[in-house]
Structure 1
Amino acid sequence: MKKNLLMWDESLFRDPEVFEIDYLPEQFEFRDTQMQELAFQIRPGLRGGRPLNTICKGLPGSGKTTSVKKLFQEVEETTKKLVPVHINCQIDNTKFAILSQIYRKLSGHLPPSSGTSFKQVFDAVARLLLKEECVLLVALDDANYLLYENELNKVLYTLLRAHESYEGVRIGVIVIISDPDVDLSRAVDARVSSVFRPTEIYFPPYGNGEVQEIMKARVMQGFFNGVISDAMLDLVVEQTQKSGDLRVGIDLLKRAALNAERAARRSIDQEDICGAYAVSKYLHLEYTIKTLKDEERKILTGLVTASAAGAEMNAGDVYKAIKEQVPVGYTRFYEIVKKLDAMRLVNLQYREGKGRTRVITLRYEPAKVLEYLS
């Protein structure tokens, strides 16, 4: 047997946690400017005032969530007077669900799942804030999902005008947006806009050199020495930049190491990376499909079926073909198609002709979409 083969109980990972998507690195590089701006925005909350409202905007995998979570971590280690709550709007995308998560943060448990009204939960949140004499700071992560569900105005209105119903309650909001097409100045209505008045902080995509340094730091912390060569790390960086999402690169490192372990090798080779990329490049597809409601999954399945048949997907014709399987009206059908377009699962294009034809195309291969749907 070759000496470089792994024993059954050996691993290439020094710390596998480093390659998890939700891992918070101790050293967080290349976002100092954004972190300083965020810190300035929340500073009034540390003194008992209302934090300034903020929009963090940038493509997926550009450090927005990590920046906010690192800042929240620092706040929790410093004071009890400012309570930061991070909400994943892909999962909690209704007014009641978001307030329930805020209540859990303040009380240590969720409100009863049935028989409890929104007003009862809101009253309880306000009482807790006043009793503890603390300020609330809510981060709505991936808030574009609230837009797709027509919930954003309701949520922002509830939080930002809470002081009108509960004197002394102070709440600030950080809105994190990963969809570059979303313009919140147009998306929020006048009654929200008058109290929102956010400062926008832009998170540009990481450059090639920055991705290289971030990946190198993860490798040093997460792998044992010699697991990946400089040439193989360059290949990982190249594939990461191709996807445009840092999270793909981190997932790629994890899967490539697992591939090498499966083959009982002590280092990662090109075959491991290429095999891993075939899966990691679908990270967005996998995570996005997990957030879809049953009705949305059925419509996406109908679009996949129509696409696999090879015919052009005219929105009207597709609706006629699937309305028996998915009993929704055309307006609701089209709203869901627009949401799938905003989530980058499909492309919705307009073509001039006899009227304005709306043509739908999938962004991924039909077989791959079906795989993740099932």
Structure 2
Amino acid sequence: MADDPEEGMLSWDESVFRDEHVFEIDYVPETFKHREGQMESLTYALRPAVRGSRPLNVTVRGPPGTGKTTAIQKLFDEVGAQTSDVRTIRVNCQVNSTRYSVFSRLFEGTFEYEPPSSGISFKKLFGQIAEKLVEEDDVLVVALDDVNYLFYENEASDALYSLLRAHEEYPGAKIGVIVVSSDPALDVLEELDSRVQSVFRPEDVYFPVYDQPEIVDILAERVDRGFHDGVISRDTLEYVADLTADSGDLRVGIDLLRRAGLNAEMRASRTVERQDVEDAYETSKYVNLSRSLSGLTDNERTLLEVIAHNDGDQAGDVYDEFHERTDLGYTRYSEIVNKLDQLDLIETEYADVDGRGRSRSLSLTYEKDAVLERLE
């Protein structure tokens, strides 16, 4: 973009963005930096599949925003470029959090159309997938992304058991599984049933949090591809990287760059300034909160809203209001409390209460206003 003599202002049909899609969360970069070792381990595990054999199973672990999903997408693209005899299907377990919905997604990926919405049993659904694999002599590689959501719903062991034991019921079926967890507190192997542990035996690939220099390097490439030349200075980029490092989530930085660019455009400015970043951070810092909320059911959202209005109250008191609004029993209520706790949306603290024995209080992890605003 040439310099504008009118105080560097954008005209109505100009943009600071060269390609705004570069700053979308689902954008897959052409070069995937600082994850060479992890990609080598994943490639090693899937190499047998390219040769027509069952691949090694893998657990992929690491906090949110550390490149796990991008690694899977890059890996699957590479496998697809080498052979058409390996089917690769990524299942978003935040959306598909039951065994049946996981296999519905696998059916769709196998046949390229959705299964009937009702009237088909799990056994028949599973059978059609397996028979198709055997008939075409294909290898299936399933990535259960955000597998922690299957654990929250107590569906993980059943889903994995069906996948890992498929060859026993359908000889010739070759299926490998990559489980991807973003919950640092979850020990995948420890939480699985013994019947699954005995056949899973995965390779382990860990994705650590990016450090500040790595964040600068990754975001600089996004800036080069996504903004026009000279839109953001090195100092401002490093400020974005500092905020990103504090959050521990690369997605915060990517979202921050996009929102800061939009803020600059609102000012009709050709450059992104520090104030644009500071203003954008008030929204971008809640990227993980927004993502967690997007996967909640209506009842789970209702409970979180009740907790927000009764922050710090005892679980029994919170239940009374929740029951009044949903008519759900205490067992289901307790399961939802545990899920919200595992998602780090709330904190539970046990204490002795006079006349009531030992009870737990429920508190929000995030600011009340931020939660309620995103629940609307």
TM-score range, shorter chain: over 0.9
The amino acid across from 1:33 in the alignment is G
1:190 matched to 2:190? The reply is no
- Give 2:244's aligned residue: 240
Equivalents in 2 of 1:277, 1:73: separation in Å? 33
Residue of structure 2 aligned with 1:42, choices 46, 65, 71:
46
TM-score (structure 1 length as normaliser): 0.96
Contact 2:50 2:82 in 1 (8 A): no
Residue of structure 2 aligned with 1:368, choices 359, 367, 370:
370
Instruction: Give the deviation of 1:356 after TM superposition.
Output: 3.1
2:160 alignment partner, SS class: helix
Q: In angstroms, what is the RMSD of aligned CA positions?
A: 1.2
Deviates more, 1:345-354 or 1:329-338: 345-354
- Give 1:26's aligned residue: 30
The amino acid across from 1:368 in the alignment is A
Deviations along 1:179-227, one digit per CA (max 9) or x if unpaired, are 0100112210011111111121111110111001001111011110000
- Give 2:295's aligned residue: 291
Q: Which structure 2 residues correspond to residues 59-70 of structure 1 after superposition, within 5 A?
A: 59-70=63-74
Deviations along 1:251-287, one digit per CA (max 9) or x if unpaired, are 0000000010111000001111011100001111111
- Give 1:330's aligned residue: 330
- Give 2:305's aligned residue: 301
Equivalents in 1 of 2:197, 2:102: separation in Å? 20
Q: Which structure 2 residues correspond to residues 40-189 of structure 1 after superposition, within 5 A?
A: 40-189=44-193
1:348 matched to 2:348? The reply is yes
Equivalents in 2 of 1:107, 1:324: separation in Å? 44
The amino acid across from 2:346 in the alignment is V
Instruction: Give the deviation of 1:69 after TM superposition.
Output: 0.9
1:313 alignment partner, SS class: coil
Equivalents in 2 of 1:322, 1:75: separation in Å? 48
Residue of structure 2 aligned with 1:269, choices 273, 281, 300:
273
The amino acid across from 2:94 in the alignment is Q
Give aligned-pair identity as a percent: 48
Equivalents in 2 of 1:238, 1:349: separation in Å? 32
1:8 matched to 2:12? The reply is yes
Equivalents in 2 of 1:226, 1:162: separation in Å? 55
Instruction: Give the deviation of 1:104 after TM superposition.
Output: 1.3
Q: How many residues align?
A: 370
1:258 alignment partner, SS class: helix
Equivalents in 2 of 1:189, 1:119: separation in Å? 20
Equivalents in 1 of 2:214, 2:370: separation in Å? 31
Contact 2:302 2:322 in 1 (8 A): no
TM-score (structure 2 length as normaliser): 0.96
Deviates more, 1:352-361 or 1:207-216: 352-361
1:357 alignment partner, SS class: strand
Structure 2: segments with no counterpart, 5+ residues: none
Equivalents in 2 of 1:63, 1:287: separation in Å? 16
Equivalents in 2 of 1:44, 1:348: separation in Å? 45
2:54 alignment partner, SS class: coil
Instruction: Give the deviation of 1:120 after TM superposition.
Output: 1.8
Residue of structure 2 aligned with 1:253, choices 247, 250, 257:
257
Deviates more, 1:220-229 or 1:296-305: 296-305
1:25 alignment partner, SS class: coil
Deviations along 1:75-94, one digit per CA (max 9) or x if unpaired, are 01110121111011001111
Contact 1:59 1:180 in 2 (8 A): yes
Deviations along 1:282-337, one digit per CA (max 9) or x if unpaired, are 11111111110111111111111112xxxx32112211233211212222111111
